[in-house]
Amino acid sequence: MLEIIITKEWQGKRADAALAALSGESRACVQRWIEQGHVCKSPPSMAVIKARDAVCAGDIFIITPPAPAPSPLTPENIPLEIIFQDRDIAVINKPAGMVVHPAAGNYSGTLVHGLLYHIVDLSGIGGELRPGIVHRLDKMTSGLMAVAKNDEAHRALSAQLADRTCTREYLALTRGSIGQDEGRIDAPIGRHHINRQKMAVTPEGRPAVTDYIVLQRLKNACLLKCKLQTGRTHQIRVHLAHIGHPVLDDPLYGGAPEGARQMLHAWRLEFLHPGEGAPMAFEAPPPEDFMRRLRGLGGTEIPAKIQN
């Protein structure tokens, strides 16, 4: 059971929007719970609400999520590198070429299908027995991802992403020689006006900030460490293309052939454990295809520890 107190900034707003934001659940999930009668005002009224109802500051709502239903997806015995797992979370080193979520054209073989096979103690996310993907990686991006195994862990990790206390760092091979040894790209990102499959820097976009440090200068290329300050779709790829140094072999933003593997790897992940509150840090060295590309450009091995 969840008890949600409406705060001042949600005065007069729709119940589904307010409860989604304050609970950490998706708006669609909250709407479904409201329709099914799992949300009501706290005693003594216990009134059933509608999604469009306006809320007032100080209102208290009780959410009683239904028991999780089995996932409609079939678990698949897909090889996965699970580098950490406990009762609340798992940390995965995703290979390039693996899609995270099932979607059109990828109805099997996804990370979610593999997680359903390998993780046996799921307690339900959003009313369904499924792994909770907290943040995504593009199909052709490799590296670390955090996965929640229950609703409480999902809410806690999502909150850390929202308040920027979760650290995500990437290694990227980029085209050309970047003038500065380090810098910040602060440029809003939104959907491309013409190609709706792409994102772009646009004044109408959402705020997006990427910090970078040049680790190695190569043959008409650089090895960068990029740190996300926000988490927009394709953020690093869009930002580096925006400054004229796209990620190498990027088919969408760098002119590489369709199906190429962009040289981007999520190498470090830091967050507070959602149950215990202890700081946790994970690192995954780049895979061999990334290292071959680096060596081919005259680069050297990446140190086991990269200083901030």
Residue type, 163: D
Output the average pLDDT for the chain: 90
Structure confidence at residue 49 (pLDDT): 85
Using alpha carbons, list the distances in angstroms from residue 220 to 176, 186, 269, 298.
4, 24, 29, 10
Question: What's the pLDDT score for residue 32?
Answer: 87
State yes or no: pLDDT of 308 exceeds 60: no
pLDDT (0 to 100) of residue 165? 92
Task: For residue 138, indicate whether it is catalytic.
Answer: yes
Contact, 89 vs 150, CB < 8 A? no
What's at 166, amino acid-wise?
C
pLDDT tens digit string along 111-168? 989 998 998 887 666 666 568 888 889 999 999 999 999 888 988 998 898 888 999 9
Residue whose token pair is 């979520």: 101
Single out the catalytic residue among 138, 151, 249, 250.
138
> Given this model, what pLDDT does residue 26 score?
78
Going by pLDDT thresholds of 50, 70 and 90, the confidence category of residue 278 is very high
Question: 198 and 189 in contact (C-beta within 8 Å)?
Answer: no
Q: Region 237-265: what's the mean pLDDT? A: 96
Q: Could you read off the pLDDT of 206-234 as tens digits, one per residue?
A: 999 999 999 999 999 999 999 999 999 99
Q: Could you tell me which of 175, 176, 174, 201 has the C-alpha nearest to residue 186? A: 201
Domains in the chain with CATH codes:
2-63 (3.10.290.10), 81-154 (3.30.2350.10), 167-296 (3.30.2350.10)
User: How many other β-carbons are positioned within 10 Å of the β-carbon of residue 84?
Assistant: 14
Give backbone dihedrals phi and psi of 301, rounded to 5 degrees, phi first. -60, 145
Half-sphere exposure of 130 (CA within 13 A, CB side): 19
The confidence score (pLDDT) of residue 201 equals 96
Residue 105 DSSP symbol: T
SS3 133: strand
pLDDT at 307: 55
pLDDT at position 124 is 64
pLDDT: which is higher, 172 or 126? 172
Taking residue 260's Cβ as centre, other Cβ atoms within 10 Å add up to 15
What tokens does 226 get?
């990029």
pTM: 0.78
Q: How far apart are CA 307 and CA 284, in angstroms?
A: 15
Question: Which has the minimum average pLDDT: 26-40, 62-76, 140-154, 229-243?
Answer: 62-76
The average pLDDT across 20-44 equals 84
- What lies within 8 Å, CB to CB, of 119 at 6+ separation is 85, 90, 131, 147, 149
Pairing verdict, β 167-175 and 199-201: unpaired
Residue-level pLDDT at 302: 84
When comparing pLDDT for 304 and 54, which is higher?
Answer: 54
